């Protein structure tokens, strides 16, 4: 997403929407994180593992309801998995997803 912003293919509000989706994926546990060695064992909320996943799922479901399964898959591939695309049609779909998520 940074590359797309630097090349002026997307605008800052698109980039911000993408960063929010990435943060939701991180919170949902989509990426491996190192253990927090400074935390006290058992000192976490029991729902800490599911809240992030539910929030991420709601976001993807929102995109799917509004733009369809293919758009959602493309959003995940380009934004979350960081698999770039040069296809203008695909970029248009991703930008449409980010536009929807930015609330503009």
Task: Tell me the torsion sign for CA atoms 31, 34, 35, 38.
Answer: negative
pLDDT tens for 52-63 read 889 999 999 999
pTM of the complete model: 0.81
Torsion angle of the four alpha carbons 15, 16, 20, 22, in this order, in degrees rounded to the nearest 10: 20
| Confidence at residue 50, expressed as pLDDT on a 0 to 100 scale | 72
Residue ranges of the domains in the chain?
2-32+45-102
| Arithmetic mean of pLDDT, 10-23 | 96
> What band does 19 get if pLDDT is binned at 50, 70 and 90?
very high
**pLDDT exceeding 90 applies to what percent of the chain?**
68
């Amino acid at each position: 997403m940074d590359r797309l912003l630097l090349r002026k293919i997307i605008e800052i509000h698109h980039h911000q929407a993408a960063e929010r989706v990435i943060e939701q994926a991180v919170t949902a546990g989509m990426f491996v994180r190192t253990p927090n060695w400074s935390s006290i064992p058992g000192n976490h909320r029991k729902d800490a593992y599911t809240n992030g996943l539910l929030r991420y799922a709601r976001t993807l479901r929102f995109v799917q309801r509004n733009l369809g399964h293919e758009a959602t898959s493309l959003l995940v591939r380009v934004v979350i998995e960081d698999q770039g695309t040069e296809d203008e049609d695909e970029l248009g779909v991703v930008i449409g997803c980010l536009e929807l998520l930015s609330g503009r």
